[in-house]
Amino acid sequence: MVDLLKGVRVLSFNHFLMGPVGVQFLADLGADVIAVEPPDGAFQRKWSGANNKRVDGQSMLLLVGNRNKRSLVLDLKKPEAIEIARKLVATADVLTENFRPGVLDKLGLGYEAARAIKPDIIYATASGYGSDGPYVNRPGQDLLVQALSGLAAITGTKNQGPRAIGVSAVDHHGGALFAAGILAALVGRAKSGKGCRVDVNLLSAALDLQQESLTCYMNGEPPDDTRQPEHVAGWYYSAPYGLYATRDGHIAISLGSLDVLGDALELPREQRVPDAEAFTRRDEITRAIAANVAERTTDECVSLFTARAIWHAPVSDYSKLAGDPQIVHNRSFQTVPGVTGAPITLVSHPIRYDGQVPDVRLPPQKLGAQSEEILRELGYDAAAIRSLYGTGAIGQKL
């Protein structure tokens, strides 16, 4: 079992995707994550995508970022619930939240209030655009940030215009940065004894995803266009870097000499381009490559490129991933019993520790599954817990 964060308690007021996924990373490593949700459940319990696809009644978004966490229901409109939250802050190493800026401040659970309770608290916030600034009150959501950050523009093509990435890439990267910031703060506190505030936002995460492209753009003469050329996978790449249709699929061709590639494909001399002109004449060479590759099967291309050490990969769709030998070897998917009894397949924690992939200790839990357990840890007795149920401060009894 991977328990590198055993003994670290994380109080999580998170919903949607970036916050839950980031905190799940810590939970995978053994942190005691207490996920606080309202009586009707957090957003991730309600949204599923794909025509509201569910697994035995459980939403897809719940399964994505909520494993290895304990669930506590608190109606933060009730003073009794705020008192419970304050008691939890006193026991926590980290408080995390991704409400709109200022929401927890109004509830008396903002950074200064938390520091007054626990001076060395690490207070981590995730937002759309930052905790202040001209966009602070805008809705922060992955697609909107892809649009604002230039990511949709550079993913688009000259012919088709901007295009969103096919997943919530900014949310996921933001979640990884959220976890990294919290871990850095924990290391800092171990050295100095001081807590700190950690702020992560989607807009900065989207720009961070584009470091290579933006550094190229911001230095020297900017290009006329940052949309993807035909076949080439980005505005600043040289030929042949891109995706090409074969007779029965697609193949990615990455780095390699155009001379070697030309030999592999037996391109006629008039279609050959020197490596020194791989950028300036990329449209010309990629058209020639595309026409040639389209006459071959994917397997034929793989054989040709493998024999000549040309970097390449067949384009896989999702139906092939579970059987991919490296993915199987890496244990990138785990199928475990869910809380309803139905099996659920999850994407594993992406890092190994001494060769081990962290296990799913707790599948995503039913709403409020550990409410009573957590309250007993705080010293509430049976009568007090019954009273809290009666006021609605901790929702309804399971």
pLDDT for 190-201, tens place per residue?
Answer: 999 999 999 999
* Residue owning tokens 């040639």: 292
284 & 194 share domain: no
Quote the domain boundaries for residue 108: 9-209+327-391
Per-residue pLDDT of 347-373, as tens digits, reads: 999 999 999 999 999 999 999 999 999
Confidence of residue 255 (pLDDT cuts 50, 70, 90): confident
pLDDT of residue 171: 98
In a domain? residue 190? yes
Task: Summarize the confidence of residues 305-325 as an average pLDDT.
Answer: 97
Per-residue pLDDT of 120-130, as tens digits, reads: 999 999 999 99
pLDDT of residue 94: 99
20 & 61 share domain: yes
Confidence of residue 113 (pLDDT cuts 50, 70, 90): very high
Q: What is the CATH number of the domain that holds 156?
A: 3.40.50.10540
Task: Summarize the confidence of residues 77-82 as an average pLDDT.
Answer: 98
Given 285, 314, 343, the domain boundary residue is: 314
pLDDT of residue 159: 87
pLDDT of residue 398: 84
* Residue owning tokens 């608190």: 74
Per-residue pLDDT of 163-209, as tens digits, reads: 999 999 999 999 999 999 999 999 999 999 999 999 999 999 999 99
Asked if omega into 79 is within 30° of 0 (cis), the reply is no
Confidence of residue 289 (pLDDT cuts 50, 70, 90): very high
16 & 112 share domain: yes
**Averaged confidence pLDDT in the chain:** 97
In a domain? residue 238? no
178 & 264 share domain: no
Task: Report the alpha-carbon distance of residue 143 to residue 165 in Å, rounded.
Answer: 9
279 & 141 share domain: no
Q: What share of the chain is helix, strand, coil (3-state, %, to 5)?
A: 40, 15, 45
Q: For residues 371 and 394, is the Cβ–Cβ distance under 8 A? A: yes
47 & 182 share domain: yes
Per-residue pLDDT of 293-309, as tens digits, reads: 999 999 999 999 999 99
In a domain? residue 80? yes
- How does DSSP assign 138-189, residue by residue? S---HHHHHHHTTHHHHHSBTTTB----SS-HHHHHHHHHHHHHHHHHHHHH
Say whether pLDDT at 103 is over 90: yes
258 & 302 share domain: yes
Closest CA to 28 of 360, 365, 364, 370: 360
The total domain count for the chain is 2
Helix (H, G, I), strand (E, B) or coil at 42: coil
Pairing of strands 242-245, 333-337: unpaired
> Quick one: tokens of 40?
């009707």
Give the residue, 255 or 276, on which the prediction is more confident.
276
Per-residue pLDDT of 3-46, as tens digits, reads: 999 999 999 999 999 999 999 999 999 999 999 999 999 999 99
294 & 350 share domain: no
pTM for the predicted model, two decimal places: 0.97
Helix (H, G, I), strand (E, B) or coil at 228: strand
Helix (H, G, I), strand (E, B) or coil at 361: coil
Given 258, 289, 314, the domain boundary residue is: 314
pLDDT of residue 203: 98
289 & 374 share domain: no
Q: Report the residue count for the chain.
A: 398
